[in-house]
Structure 1
Amino acid sequence: MTQFVPENDSYDAHARSCAPDDLWGQVKRTVHGKPLSAAQIDMILENVQAMLELNASDVLLDLCCGNGALTHHWFAACANGIGVDASPCLIDIARSRFGEGEPDRFVLAEAVSYLESPQCRSDFTKAVCYGSLQYFSAGRAAELLAALRRLCPTLRRVVIGNIPDRDRAAAFFGAKLPDAEELDSPLTPTGVWHSAQGFTELARRSGWRCRTQSMPADFHAAHYRFDAILTPLEENSR
């Protein structure tokens, strides 16, 4: 399969710079460089599972799964699943820690490249991409959403989580608000900032109905990020 080179190639280098047991640091689940608390991680796990309406019959696709530290919990709640990530370091960690003797459970590939490859399964019912879509340009994000709609015909629900909210960027940056070019760049530490309205329209053009929501107020990033829940948009509704 042809590999697409990720636009932010510092991702793998960062993971390699972390200690082998620093699972949250490796995937930047941190605040001011410190790993999120167990309560914050539990909030992510529980809210994503609820948004997905995950059940024991589902087959889950986790795009940009990182080291699998979140993914393996969601896999435990469904029938089967595949995690995909472009970082060799993180996929090696996912396979060694959470592969459970299944070498094909975690796949080394860029997300869109995987979807467009013969390797992609056709029976996924749910999909998640948590805290990673902002590192795709707006154009590549649109390609990803369109590929999910076109190439995964049994998908009933997709969660795109932890998206930086352009309309609330000042709550994060304060007086040092970047210009539009920086907010549109996938190469910055925070990636592309989408407005809820803009992301909803991007999803609609890709064949999805989109509903956005925020995490509970005690989540560390609730004041400047949102989650998106996608369900298939019927052809005659586009």
Structure 2
Amino acid sequence: MSFYKQHPLTCDSKDFWGQVKRTVNGKPVPREQIQMIVDAVQDGLALGPEDHFLDLCCGNGALSTFFFAACGGGLGVDFSEPLIETAKANFEQPPNFIYQLADVLDYANNEPQPERFTKALCYGSFQYLAKDAAEALLAVLRRRFVGLRRLYLGNLPDRQRMGEFFRPESYTPGVEDDPGSPIGVWRARHDIAQLASQTGWVAEFRIMPGDFYAAHYRFDAILRR
């Protein structure tokens, strides 16, 4: 994950999607693709002005800002200093919408007012958590964040559709279990359902529309109490 501390420094300061590798063939995904993400998350979380929103692994805030606009308040958390600096410089709107530098598990264990959050998102990043860390994060969100009604885990690589992503010559055995690999840990829906059940959540699954750039090998999960 040190990649996300170093890679942003190689990008233009306004290349927000390039900084977080939201790209296809090295080019930032088109605006209509970003809008598909926004629509899916807003629908899945049923975001409204009464919600206080938490974005875990928020990156540079370019995606968070769409959801902040629909809510009464929000916080984005990420461990990458250059990404949080970009978020603060371009998207932060204190005191209602704030970005914080922290490891998400450390943050979740130490947030002083966890009860204020009603909806949460972890988009394109949950797969970079090893099994123990992923389980610990879901558990502490369930235990400490008592007002949290929905948690959206987005863009998860589907273990059952690995063959639609890897060509035989590009596949390295075991890479699907490596949280430090470029794609992270590949989990099947039943893996996410089991993690959710073990930590007190109920999981619902969704797939993006067919014209979404990653629809053929990823899925989303919505966790509820």
TM range (shorter): over 0.9
The partner residue of 1:32 within 25, 45, 56 is 25
**Matched residues, number:** 224
Alignment of 1:1-238 (within 5 A): 8-102=1-95, 105-176=98-169, 177-179=171-173, 181-232=174-225
Give the gaps of 5 or more residues in structure 2.
none
CA distance in 1, matches of 2:194, 2:167: 27
- Cα distance between partner residues in 1 of 2:77 and 2:149: 19
CA RMSD of aligned residues (A): 1.3
* Partner SS state of residue 93, structure 1: helix
**Relative to structure 2, which stretch is displaced further, 62-71 or 101-110?**
101-110
Identity of aligned residues (%): 46
Q: TM-score, normalised by structure 1?
A: 0.91
> 1:95–1:103: 8 Å Cα contact kept in structure 2?
no
Give the 3-state SS of the residue equivalent to 1:215 in structure 2.
coil
Aligned-partner Cα distance in 1 for 2:86–2:96? 12
Gaps of 5+ in 1: 1-7, 233-238
Alignment check: 8 A CA contact 2:114 2:144 kept: no
C-alpha separation between the residues in 2 aligned to 1:210 and 1:30?
A: 28
Output the CA distance in 1 between the equivalents of 2:97 and 2:159: 37
CA contact (8 A) 1:114 1:120 kept: no
Give the aligned residue type for 2:120: A
TM-score normalised by structure 2 residue count: 0.96
